[in-house]
């Protein structure tokens, strides 16, 4: 649907339950559903041919990949870049090929009442998928899941195994998200013939590969395709509006049942949509805002259908947090109470794995967040793994959920083609993350050059579209203090602003920060009268570099810069500043450049997750902020703050 029409019709479609058809429920086991994880070693081959098309010309998907030439063992999930000793593979641009043979349970291949789905958590950037040499899916975008129903293929013959081939291209163009450009270096007196490099305008390494779990799962052929939950509160009663979409048959019954954490049924309903009312509801509160944060109910959905083969049932259980989100002219409210974001910006980034999903790393990161007293993070600069969002729901870590709209600086990246793709990405993101109580705001982009002429229409449309997709959450885009004529700001609900005072200019002069920052906040607020989040600020430090009086890149300078920001944040948070997110949680890899020392060093933790001095400073601050909030909300000292190193 054209973007303008979407903006106009979206709310109506939502109200009629017609928006966002086609689900992307997280695959889970249930009495009617099975899962088979395909993590582990895959066969891998990069296509180093000059035009990168040898794999297609030689149809590498037709026969086992090893028959096409030498293959490598490649772990999944992982980026391919940092696992080998091959310098050329690290910076490879073009098509790489992954392949895996899978043995399937007999029932999956023989029971025609079973639907078998292949799901790829993320393949960066463009992916084409074949099963037994047959094309089953194509997907653009490296940070969101996609699926293919492969039942017919695996149920058509005597085979109890299948061969999955995935070709992935990491090339970024002005119309991809994030955008990039391929630079052809044509001076053959200086570069080899056909030489090209990938150029980007963002500050992280363009890791590529199968970054998140790949799995097969089953459902019955009549199945629960999607569930949409929105929640509200009326005095002590929690309101859970639900819509359930079914595929495969028009003749079915639906029962929904909401259970509390003790397993007690607190509300029940029937049919595809309705409202459940929960008396004396436990609300979903952010970490450190309540003594029992992150309360999750379970919504059990049961489908029964009559099919030619007899009665079929499907079961799906969705965690549900009951909470409200609202924005006023100067506040961000969760459950009607002022919420102050004190947290971090992250990256999905680590040694060796690159952007590959890794449970130990994830759990370590959440333990560090809780140690720090952080109550929020922004998924800078792309959607994170679904498992990350699930942990945020469980721990009460509030999320600003960002699209991969980063590095939008070229005029071509504001074309209709780009806008159309950006709208589709927002649809995929909302479809995937709409039911997470932790997600309190969508961020459509980071630091686009919004002074370019077409940017006004682009952002107006994009933000309207996102609000139409999900009227229950505010929308922002993240701007930079340098971009004065900011065309996106009139349309957003919250102004998110990044600044790097005394880092990218006024080098070494920490004393100028308070005036710069206060002036900037006042200007934004005077112009727009919207709450403001300091969505990035920070300084680079090389762990172990010490210098006092502080010099840039020492741990003391990083700490000193933060302290100057905090002086102003402490004044303005009484008025309209509603949050502060440090740049960055941990050091992370970037492209090589004289401005970067083995990557970006603005982490308060090293890339190996060890604290720098700034981490201790922030820890003290965040726990104090948390204590203030708790005292503000209730006179009683909360249990969860008893562990605080700084409780009063
Ligand atoms: C920014 C960007 C972020 C960079 C950061 C920096 O404004 O949003 O992606 O990494 O600055 O360190 O320069």
Instruction: Encode pLDDT of 375-415 as tens digits.
Output: 999 999 999 999 999 999 999 999 999 999 999 999 999 99
Q: What is the rounded CA–CA span in Å between residue 643 and residue 621?
A: 15
> 200: CA distance to ligand 1 center in Å?
13
User: CB of 379 closer than 6 A to ligand 1?
Assistant: no
Token look-up 């600003």 returns 400
User: CB of 473 closer than 6 A to ligand 1?
Assistant: no
Q: Which atom of ligand 1 is nearest to the CA of 202?
A: 9
Residue nearest (by alpha carbon) to ligand 1 atom 13: 203
Span 501-522, average pLDDT: 97
Span 80-98, average pLDDT: 97
Token look-up 């005072």 returns 501
Given this model, what pLDDT does residue 638 score? 46
Span 268-292, average pLDDT: 97
Q: Identify the structural domains of the chain with CATH numbers, from first to last.
A: 34-170+206-219 (2.60.120.260), 221-320 (2.60.40.10), 325-635 (3.20.20.80)
491 to 486, 528, 639: CA distances (angstroms) = 11, 10, 40
- Residue 507 pLDDT > 90, yes or no? yes
- Residue 508 pLDDT > 90, yes or no? yes
> 212: CA distance to ligand 1 center in Å?
24
Given this model, what pLDDT does residue 482 score? 65
**CB 418, CB 174: distance < 8 Å:** yes
Tell me the per-residue pLDDT of 419-453, one tens digit each, with 9 for 90 and over: 999 999 999 999 999 999 999 999 999 998 866 77
Global pTM value = 0.95
Which residues are within 8 A (CB) of 399 and not within 5 positions of it... i.e. 6 or more apart?
A: 376, 377, 378, 379, 389, 392, 436, 438, 439, 440
Structure tokens at 176: 């991809």
Q: What pLDDT band is residue 22 in, cutting at 50, 70 and 90?
A: confident
Given this model, what pLDDT does residue 633 score? 61
Q: Which of 427, 447, 536, 555 is catalytic?
A: 447
Given this model, what pLDDT does residue 483 score? 58
Given this model, what pLDDT does residue 161 score? 87
| Element holding 115 (H helix, E strand) | strand 114-120
Burial class (CB within 10 angstroms; exposed 0-12, middle 13-18, buried 19+) of 17: middle
> 57: CA distance to ligand 1 center in Å?
40
Residue nearest (by alpha carbon) to ligand 1 atom 10: 203
Q: What is the rounded CA–CA span in Å between residue 536 and residue 402?
A: 14
Residue among 569, 574, 479, 494 nearest 529 (CA): 494
**CB 414, CB 462: distance < 8 Å:** no
The secondary structure of residue 558, as a DSSP letter, is H
- Residue 230 pLDDT > 50, yes or no? yes
Q: Which atom of ligand 1 is nearest to the CA of 380?
A: 9
Residue nearest (by alpha carbon) to ligand 1 atom 2: 203
Q: What pLDDT band is residue 488 in, cutting at 50, 70 and 90?
A: confident
Given this model, what pLDDT does residue 18 score? 41
For 493, phi and psi rounded to 5 degrees?
-90, -30
- Residue 639 pLDDT > 70, yes or no? no
Q: What is the residue-averaged pLDDT of the chain?
A: 93
Q: What pLDDT band is residue 485 in, cutting at 50, 70 and 90?
A: low
Q: What pLDDT band is residue 631 in, cutting at 50, 70 and 90?
A: low
Q: What percentage of residues in the chain have a pLDDT greater than 90?
A: 88
- Asked if 447 is an active-site residue, the reply is yes
> 461: CA distance to ligand 1 center in Å?
25
Given this model, what pLDDT does residue 157 score? 78
Span 272-290, average pLDDT: 97
Taking the alpha carbons of 314, 320, 326, 331 in that order, is the dihedral positive or negative?
negative
- Residue 6 pLDDT > 70, yes or no? no
Which residues are within 8 A (CB) of 372 and not within 5 positions of it... i.e. 6 or more apart?
A: 344, 615, 618, 619, 622
Residue nearest (by alpha carbon) to ligand 1 atom 7: 498
Tell me the per-residue pLDDT of 564-588, one tens digit each, with 9 for 90 and over: 999 999 999 999 999 999 999 999 9
């Amino acid at each position: 649907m054209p973007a303008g029409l979407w903006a106009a019709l979206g709310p109506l479609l939502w109200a009629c339950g017609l928006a966002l058809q086609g689900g992307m429920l997280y695959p889970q086991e249930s009495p009617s559903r099975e899962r088979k994880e395909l993590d582990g070693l895959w066969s891998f081959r990069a296509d180093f041919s000059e035009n990168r098309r040898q794999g297609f010309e030689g149809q590498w998907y037709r026969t086992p990949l090893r028959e096409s030439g030498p293959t490598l063992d490649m772990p999944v999930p992982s980026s391919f870049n940092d696992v080998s000793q091959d310098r050329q593979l690290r910076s490879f641009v073009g098509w790489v090929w992954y392949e895996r043979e899978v043995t399937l349970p007999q029932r999956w291949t023989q029971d025609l009442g079973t639907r078998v789905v292949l799901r790829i958590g993320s393949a960066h950037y463009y992916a084409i998928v074949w099963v037994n040499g047959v094309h089953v899916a194509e997907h653009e975008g490296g940070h969101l899941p996609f699926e293919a129903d492969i039942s017919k293929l695996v149920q058509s013959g005597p085979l109890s195994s299948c061969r999955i081939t995935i070709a992935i291209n990491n090339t970024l163009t002005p119309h991809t998200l994030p955008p990039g450009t391929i630079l052809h270096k044509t001076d053959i007196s200086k570069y080899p013939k056909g030489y090209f490099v990938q150029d980007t305008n963002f500050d992280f390494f363009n890791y590529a590969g199968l970054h998140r779990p790949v799995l097969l799962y089953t459902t019955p052929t009549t199945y629960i395709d999607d569930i949409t939950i929105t929640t509200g509160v009326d005095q002590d009663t929690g309101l859970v509006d639900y819509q359930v979409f079914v595929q495969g048959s028009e003749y079915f019954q639906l029962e929904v049942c909401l259970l509390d954490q003790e397993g007690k049924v607190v509300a029940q309903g029937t049919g595809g949509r309705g409202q459940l009312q929960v008396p004396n509801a436990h609300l979903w509160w952010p970490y450190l805002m309540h003594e029992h944060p992150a309360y999750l109910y379970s919504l059990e959905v049961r489908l029964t259908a009559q099919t030619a083969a007899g009665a079929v049932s499907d079961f799906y259980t969705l965690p549900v947090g009951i909470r409200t989100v609202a924005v006023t002219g100067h506040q961000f409210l969760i459950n009607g109470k002022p919420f102050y974001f004190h947290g971090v910006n992250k990256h999905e980034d680590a040694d060796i794995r690159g952007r590959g999903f890794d449970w130990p790393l994830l759990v370590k990161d959440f333990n560090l967040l809780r140690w720090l007293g952080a109550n929020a993070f922004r998924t800078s600069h792309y959607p994170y793994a679904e498992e990350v969002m699930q942990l945020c729901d469980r721990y009460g870590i509030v999320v600003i959920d960002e699209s991969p709209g980063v590095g939008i600086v070229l005029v071509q990246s504001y074309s209709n083609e780009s806008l159309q793709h950006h709208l589709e990405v927002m649809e995929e993101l909302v479809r995937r993350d709409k039911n997470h109580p932790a997600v309190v705001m969508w961020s459509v982009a980071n630091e686009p050059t919004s002074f370019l002429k077409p940017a006004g229409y682009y952002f107006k449309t994009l933000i309207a579209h996102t609000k139409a997709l999900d009227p229950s959450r505010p929308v922002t885009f993240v701007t930079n203090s340098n971009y004065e004529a900011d065309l996106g700001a009139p349309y957003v609900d919250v102004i998110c602003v990044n600044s790097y005072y005394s880092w990218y200019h006024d080098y070494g002069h920490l004393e100028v920060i308070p005036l710069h920052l206060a002036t900037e906040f006042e200007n934004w607020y005077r112009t727009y009268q919207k709450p403001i989040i300091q969505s990035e600020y920070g300084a680079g430090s090389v762990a172990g570099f010490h210098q006092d009086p502080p010099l840039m890149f020492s741990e003391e300078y990083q700490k000193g810069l933060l302290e100057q920001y905090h002086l102003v944040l402490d004044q303005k948070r009484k008025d309209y500043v509603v949050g502060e997110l440090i740049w960055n949680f941990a050091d992370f890899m970037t492209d090589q450049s004289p401005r970067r020392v083995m990557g970006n060093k603005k982490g308060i933790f090293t890339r190996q997750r060890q604290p720098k001095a700034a981490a201790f400073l922030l820890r003290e601050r965040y726990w104090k902020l948390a204590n203030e909030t708790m005292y503000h909300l209730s006179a009683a000292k909360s249990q969860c703050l008893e562990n605080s190193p700084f409780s009063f």
